[in-house]
């Protein structure tokens, strides 16, 4: 008989955000480990408030600038029909189930 895949180290995982935790250890998402997010208890004491840290905000600003520069370069180098084809192909890729 196969072990229950929902159990980890013999304990049922607790659901927290988009991540499972076992009672034996806590694993943080990469964004927490890299210091991009901060977390504090909600005033009600029943939840967590998650916000971008200063490092997270700086990273977000860099990504926005990069995305805008990429958009400008695409518009400068491709024709309107090529851009439409690119968008169609990107949508098709996004719909793939990996």
- Residue 25: the pLDDT is 44
HSE value, Cβ hemisphere, 13 Å, CA-based, for 92:
6
Q: Tell me what percent of the residues of the chain surpass a pLDDT of 70.
A: 72
Q: Give the separation between CA 85 and CA 98, rounded to whole angstroms.
A: 22
Which residues are CB-neighbours of 14 under 8 A, at least 6 positions away? Answer: 20, 21, 22, 23
Both tokens of 59, joined, read 């990273």
Residue with tokens 């400008």: 72
What is the average pLDDT score of the chain?
A: 79
Per-residue pLDDT of 19-52, as tens digits, reads 444 443 456 777 777 888 888 888 888 888 888 9
Residue with tokens 């926005």: 64
């Amino acid at each position: 008989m196969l072990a229950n895949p929902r159990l980890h180290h013999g304990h049922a995982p607790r659901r927290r955000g988009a991540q499972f935790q076992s009672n034996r250890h806590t694993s943080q998402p990469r964004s927490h480990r890299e210091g991009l997010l901060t977390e504090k208890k909600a005033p009600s004491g029943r939840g967590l408030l998650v916000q971008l840290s200063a490092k997270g905000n700086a990273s977000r600003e860099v990504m926005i600038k990069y995305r805008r520069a990429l958009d400008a370069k695409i518009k400068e180098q491709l024709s309107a029909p090529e851009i439409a084809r690119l968008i169609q192909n990107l949508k098709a890729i996004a719909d793939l189930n990996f």
